[in-house]
């Protein structure tokens, strides 16, 4: 996971005159505080698949979980390249963030235990998970595999005055 600050670059073609790159701190805060994210994966036959889900930004990566038989898990078995998005559904205000990276399975019990606590802290007791055999187990004994997406590139789309398109590159 990337521990260093990314390099920011403004794309002036899609930004207001005189705009500067959006600060990474604002994008990181949005990734941490967002309630909902959209995960884009690719089906084995090449068709796209997009689904909303909850997640946790923790130690420089966006984490999500899914049942092993769900479409997104089956897609990830064939192609780990993903895009995660979050933001606000408005044209004239806010920031939208697009995270590109590889979804890597998390199986370490200590890391999963910390992530389970992060889920409960963010979303409440309803999202309590136990950790068993390298996965989350929910209240109905449903198994959920956990994935981490360390950003390779993140795009930020600032909307309003000024409009900005920022690209953050990670080492």
Q: Is residue 54 part of a domain?
A: yes
Give me 56's structure tokens: 């946790």
* % of the chain beyond a pLDDT of 90: 92
Distances (CA, A) of 49 to 36, 118, 128, 139: 16, 27, 27, 27
What was the pLDDT predicted at 138? 87
What was the pLDDT predicted at 2? 42
Query: pLDDT band at 150, cuts 50/70/90?
Result: very high
Mean pLDDT of 143-153: 97
Mean pLDDT of 3-15: 90
Q: Is residue 14 part of a domain?
A: no
* DSSP secondary structure letter of residue 59: T
Are 111 and 119 a contacting pair, CB within 8 Å? Answer: no
Mean pLDDT of 104-129: 96
What was the pLDDT predicted at 3? 52
Q: Is residue 73 part of a domain?
A: yes
Q: Name the pTM for this structure.
A: 0.94
Q: Is residue 8 part of a domain?
A: no
What was the pLDDT predicted at 162? 94
Q: Which domain holds residue 71?
A: 20-108+144-169
Query: pLDDT band at 22, cuts 50/70/90?
Result: very high
What was the pLDDT predicted at 38? 98
Query: pLDDT band at 1, cuts 50/70/90?
Result: very low
For the chain, give the mean pLDDT.
95
Q: Is residue 40 part of a domain?
A: yes
Q: Is residue 13 part of a domain?
A: no
Distances (CA, A) of 64 to 35, 38, 122, 124, 165: 12, 10, 13, 16, 26
> Which uninterrupted H or E stretch holds 67?
none
CATH number at residue 160: 2.30.110.10
Give me 73's structure tokens: 């898990």
Q: Is residue 69 part of a domain?
A: yes
pLDDT tens figures, 30-69: 999 999 999 999 999 999 999 999 999 999 999 999 999 9
The domain tally of the chain equals 1
């Amino acid at each position: 996971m990337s521990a260093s600050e990314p390099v920011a670059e403004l794309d002036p073609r899609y930004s207001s005159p005189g705009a500067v790159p959006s600060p990474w701190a604002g994008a990181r805060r949005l990734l941490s505080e967002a309630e909902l994210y959209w995960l884009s994966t690719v089906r084995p036959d090449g068709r796209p698949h997009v689904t909303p889900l909850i997640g946790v930004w923790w130690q420089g990566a966006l984490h999500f979980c899914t049942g092993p038989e769900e479409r997104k898990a089956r897609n990830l078995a064939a192609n780990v390249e993903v895009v995660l998005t979050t933001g606000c559904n408005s044209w004239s205000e806010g920031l939208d963030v697009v995270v590109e990276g590889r979804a890597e399975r998390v199986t370490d019990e200590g890391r999963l235990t910390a992530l389970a606590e992060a889920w409960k802290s963010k979303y409440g007791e309803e999202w309590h998970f136990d950790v068993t055999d390298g996965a989350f187990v929910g209240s109905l004994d449903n198994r959920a595999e956990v994935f981490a997406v360390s950003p390779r590139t993140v795009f930020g789309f600032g909307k309003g005055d000024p409009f900005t398109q920022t690209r953050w590159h990670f080492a």
